Amino acid sequence: MKTAFTAARLFTPTEEISHPLLFVEDGRITRISSRSESELTSDTSVVDFGDATVAPGFLDIHIHGGAGLDVMRAEISELPRLGTFLASHGVTGYFATTVAAPLDKTCAALERLADAIEKPASGDDAPQARPLGIHLEGPFLSHKRRGVHPPECLVEPTVTIFDRLWQAARGHVTMMTIAPEIPGAMEVIAQAARRKVCVSIGHSDAELPIARDAVHAGARHATHTFNAMRPLDHRNPGIIGEVLSDDRISADIIVDGIHVAPEVVKVFLESKGYERAVLITDAMSATGMPNGKYQLGPIEVDVKDGKATHDGSLAGSVLTMDRAVRNVTQFSDWSLRDAVRAATLNPARAVGLSDKFGTIAAGREASFIVLNSRGEVMKTIVGGRGA
C-alpha cells in the first residue's frame, strides 16, 4: 500500500519543505517532495495533517523510565508500555539508561535490556518508541559529583569491569557516562571508544585539562551539562569550560526549567550551537504519573509537582521530550525547527546513528511525528504504523 502524507511543512530537520508530500510504502519512506513537484497517482492514499508540521521522531539518549516503569527493573514484557507512553510524547527511539547499582544487578538488567533491543517489533502493536541501545550512567562516576547514584555502587574504572558490562549487554552499550579524573578512566575511555561507544564525560569534578585529555582519549560528548559537574569559574573553568568551548564534542542538557535556569540554557545553546546541542530528558519512572514515591534503579525517589528528589538532591526528571523542545523555543530565540534538530539529528549524530535515525529521508524507516503550531504532538508514526 502506498500512502502520501502531507501537512503545512516538514522539517528534515536540516531543511524545511513547505506543503510536503512524504511517500511511504511498506513502512519505509520512498520519496519526499513538495506538492507542486509531484503528482499523486490513484493508487496512493493521501493523509493530510492540515496546518501541522511533520518532523523526525525524537531520539532520547538518556532516559531511565516513565509511565511507572524503571528500565533496570522492568520485565521485557512491560517495556512496550513505556514505548507507547514515549511515542505519545513524540519519541520513536531511546537509549535505556542505567544508574549505578551492584554489578551483578546491573549485569542482569543489561541482559534483559539486550533481549528487549534484539526483540523484533511486532507488526500489530500500537506505535511504540523502541529501545535502540543502552546508556551506562555509572558505575564509573565521581564520588564528589555522584548526584543520587549510591556511593557504595561507584567503582574505579577498569577495562575488565567495562568488558564484563559490555558482554552482559551483548555489545548493546551504545553510550557511557564516565568521570575522566578517576584513576583508570582514560584507559576505559579509549577502550570504549574503540568499541564505538559514545563516551560522554559527566558526573565529574574534572579540571579543564583532564576533560580535554578525555576528548583526546576518545570522549566525544558530555552528559547533562551543568548538573553533577564541577561548577564553572571564570578563572578556573573546569570541565564545563571544556564542554562549552570545544567544538569537537557535542553535549546534552535537561531543559525542564528546574535542572538548569532558562538563562543558562540560552548560554548553553549559544555555545554548543545548532549542530552540537542535544536535548535529553533524564526521565525516571514517575514521568507521566501522579505525585508519590517511585524507583530510579535501586534509589527511592519522591516526586512532587514536577520535581524528583532523593534526600534533597535532584534524582532524574519527569520531563518529556516534546516539552523539552517547547521549552527551548521559550527559553531562547531558537525556532521550533532548531529545537527539533536538538532532539533528532543532533543526538543521532552524537551517538553515531545518524545513518539510520534522526532525519526524514528517502530509504529510511517511516518513523516521524506530527506537531501542531504550539509544538504539541498530534501523532507519532513508527515504521509506517499509527497513521
Smallest gap from residue 281 Cβ to Zn ion (A): 9
Side chain identity at 145, as an amino acid letter? R
Smaller CB distance to Zn ion: residue 70 or 282? 282
Smaller CB distance to Zn ion: residue 137 or 256? 137
What's the DSSP call for residue 54? E
Task: Indicate which residue of 282, 305, 311, 333 is catalytic.
Answer: 282
Smallest gap from residue 100 Cβ to Zn ion (A): 10
- Residue pair 299/99 in contact by the 8 Å Cβ criterion: yes
- Name the nearest CA neighbour of 219 among 245, 240, 236, 197: 197
CA 279/CA 225 separation, integer angstroms: 10
Smaller CB distance to Zn ion: residue 205 or 282? 282
CA 366/CA 362 separation, integer angstroms: 9
Query: Which residues between 108 and 147 bind Zn ion (CB under 5 A)?
Result: 137
The C-alpha cell that represents 290 in the structure block: 501522579
Q: Does 252 bind Zn ion (CB under 5 A)?
A: no
The torsion angle over the Cα atoms of residues 215, 58, 168 and 221, rounded to 10 degrees, is 10
Q: Are β-strands 91-97 and 58-63 bridged in parallel, bridged antiparallel, or unpaired?
A: parallel
Helix/strand/coil for 66: strand
User: What stretch of H or E contains 345?
Assistant: helix 345-350
Side chain identity at 171, as an amino acid letter? G
Smallest gap from residue 23 Cβ to Zn ion (A): 38
Q: Which residues of 356-382 are buried (b: 16+ CB within 10 A; e: fewer)?
A: ebbbbeeebbbbbbbbeeebebebbbb
Smaller CB distance to Zn ion: residue 62 or 349? 62
Which of the stretches 39-47, 247-255, 278-286, 342-350 binds Zn ion when contact is defined by CB under 5 A? 278-286
Count CB-CB contacts under 10 A for residue 164: 16
Smallest gap from residue 283 Cβ to Zn ion (A): 9
- Residue pair 357/348 in contact by the 8 Å Cβ criterion: yes
Give the one residue of 60, 282, 322, 365 binding Zn ion; rule: CB under 5 A: 282
- Residue pair 296/148 in contact by the 8 Å Cβ criterion: yes
Q: How many angstroms separate the first and last alpha carbons of the chain?
A: 13
Smaller CB distance to Zn ion: residue 149 or 212? 149
Smaller CB distance to Zn ion: residue 213 or 282? 282
CA 74/CA 377 separation, integer angstroms: 26
The C-alpha cell that represents 123 in the structure block: 507488526
Count CB-CB contacts under 10 A for residue 26: 10
The size of the interface with Zn ion (CB under 5 A), counted in residues, is 2
CA 36/CA 190 separation, integer angstroms: 51
Smallest gap from residue 316 Cβ to Zn ion (A): 5
Which of the stretches 18-26, 200-208, 236-244, 275-283 binds Zn ion when contact is defined by CB under 5 A? 275-283
282 labelled catalytic: yes
Smallest gap from residue 259 Cβ to Zn ion (A): 11
Smaller CB distance to Zn ion: residue 343 or 381? 343
Smallest gap from residue 129 Cβ to Zn ion (A): 17
- State the catalytic residues: 282
The site for Zn ion (CB under 5 A) is made up of 137, 282
